[in-house]
Structure 1
Amino acid sequence: MTTFEGSFSAPELGRARIALVVARFNDLITTRLLSGCLDCLTRHGIDTSRSSAQVDTVWVPGSLEISVVAQRLARSGRYQVIIALGAVIRGDTPHFDVVIAEVSRGVASVARDSGIPVIFGVLTTDTLQQALERAGIKSNLGWTYGLEALEMASLMATLPPSP
């Protein structure tokens, strides 16, 4: 029996290219998620400087636009993993349900169709307070999304090629 697992310090991570797609809507939250994510990547040896050839960040208007940009980035063949960061906070209308259903379906579709892991880092909360807690007041899930991306990039590099 063969067991495949990702790592957070594998040699192939030093060459990994990572794309971050970040929603500008609710940027009070998404900039904190981005900061936590970049901190994680940096602490694990990924060059996140502005002149980096390893990490590209793409800003989109809102979470609904994440999927189409992630799809384009995945099709480019440049990236080993994509991280989608957004925040959808429930309001008084059913808009929340529509947006989150579409963005989650879209992100999953991009990953499935391209074979490139797309980390789903879109917060779905009932209140702004809950979003703030998940983006840094209590802990920063951006760090977790960065860690997931590293593990998936490493794991995908160890799996046998698809037919």
Structure 2
Amino acid sequence: MATTLKNLSQHTQSNITDISQKKFAIVVSEWNDEITESLYNGAVETLLKYGAKKENIFRKNVPGSFELPLGAQWLAKLDEIDAVICLGCVIQGETRHFDFICDAVAHGITEVGLKYDKPVVFGVLTPNNQQQALDRAGGQHGNKGDEAAITAIKMLGF
């Protein structure tokens, strides 16, 4: 989690496994695409940095963050996929819609991982405003796409 004391892109090198033969699916929300594209780029850069092959990284887009769990489920059920990374951004608005979407997405992504017994990573920003999103998508607080990718790698080494 990004705070004023910790950058999202900082992590320990413990539990890093060989991912050269692993296949990753990345599900990306098209909503808030300026943010989600940056998250995607961060995730891919991190996967490649730690040894994933470009041809073993598969991207699928969904319309919004609410659709991430179903997109993740469609990919997680494929035997050849070792981990799924879900990337989205839901920015707080003036209504409770934000709360319902964030809750549904978090629970849905969790359920998919448990159902398919493989890493399904929550890489969804839930900021109060656009600037906070930018700060966490390659800005002053790092890139949550980075964090999501390293989480998938570490979970594969569990």
Q: Please state which band the TM-score falls in when normalised by the shorter chain.
A: 0.7 to 0.9
Structure number with bigger Rg: 1
* Cα distance in 2, alignment partners of residues 42 and 72 from structure 1: 24
Whether 1:151 aligns to 2:154 is: yes
Gaps of 5+ in 1: 1-5, 156-163
Whether 1:128 aligns to 2:130 is: yes
Task: Give the deviation of 1:14 after TM superposition.
Answer: 1.1
Match of 2:8 in 1: none
Secondary structure of the corresponding residue to residue 80 of structure 2: coil
How many residues align? The count is: 144
Q: Alignment RMSD, CA only? A: 1.1
Whether 1:115 aligns to 2:117 is: yes
More helix by share: 1
Q: CA offsets, 1:39-95, max 9 Å, x none?
A: 1111111122xxx1x110000000000101111111121211100000000011111
* Cα distance in 2, alignment partners of residues 103 and 43 from structure 1: 28
Match of 1:7 in 2: 15
Given the two structures, how large is their TM-score scaled by the length of structure 1? 0.85
Question: Which stretches of structure 1, 4 residues or more, deviate above 4 A after TM superposition?
Answer: none
Gaps of 5+ in 2: 1-13
Q: Which amino acid aligns with 2:15?
A: S
Q: Which amino acid aligns with 1:7?
A: N
Q: Which amino acid aligns with 2:21?
A: R
Secondary structure of the corresponding residue to residue 90 of structure 1: coil
- Verify the 8 A CA contact 2:21 2:53 in the aligned structure 1: no
Q: CA offsets, 1:116-159, max 9 Å, x none?
A: 1111000111111100000011111211111111111122xxxx
Secondary structure of the corresponding residue to residue 125 of structure 1: coil
* Cα distance in 1, alignment partners of residues 83 and 31 from structure 2: 23
Whether 1:27 aligns to 2:33 is: yes
Match of 1:37 in 2: 43
Whether 1:87 aligns to 2:93 is: no
Match of 2:65 in 1: 63
* Cα distance in 1, alignment partners of residues 138 and 78 from structure 2: 32
Match of 2:24 in 1: 18
Q: Which amino acid aligns with 2:57?
A: V
Percent of residue pairs bearing the same amino acid type:
35
